[in-house]
Amino acid sequence: MRFSTRAGYGLRAAVNLARNYPKQISLQEISREEGISLKYLEQLFRTLKKNKLVLSQKGREGGYVLSKNPRMIKVGEIIETLEGPIIPMECAAGKCDVKCSCASSVVWTRLQEQIKKTLYSIRLNDLTK
């Protein structure tokens, strides 16, 4: 299983916001500091804003800020917002041609549980230290 650049870049940008919380930061500043394309950040932040993880303000003094304290935002929220549900195999989501009775479904279900457990145990502020 491999996460895309959406997860990697989105998490880096969110950590940048966490480091600066509660100050608003422009996407241009995040782009420059993190080495991420501004166009790509715009796409990512549309999704993060739509899912209420960030707030934005337009204008000269505008920018983006996390919608809540970084201590309250779990890494799993950001990853699943940008990537979609964490499902290593369809049977882990209960969608299996053999009705999840195959022996391997146990592996995929446990893997899904452990990945989610790990991602949801880390908060954004943990990554700012």
Question: Model confidence at 101, in pLDDT bands (50, 70, 90)?
Answer: low
Q: pLDDT value at position 98?
A: 56
In the chain, where the domains are located: 5-85+124-128
pLDDT surpasses 90 at 97: no
21-44 burial, b for 16+ CB within 10 Å, e for fewer? Answer: beebbbbeebbeeeebeeebbeeb
The count of residues in the chain is: 129
Mean pLDDT for all residues in the chain: 91
Render pLDDT for 13-48 as a digit per residue (tens, 0 to 9). Answer: 999 999 999 999 999 999 999 999 999 999 999 999
- CATH: 3.30.530.20, 1.10.150.120, 1.10.10.10, 3.90.190.20. Which one for 5-85+124-128? 1.10.10.10
pTM of the model: 0.88
> Do 11 and 75 meet the contact criterion of CB atoms below 8 Å apart?
yes
CA atoms of 122 and 95, how far apart (whole Å): 28
> Do 65 and 29 meet the contact criterion of CB atoms below 8 Å apart?
no
pLDDT surpasses 60 at 99: no
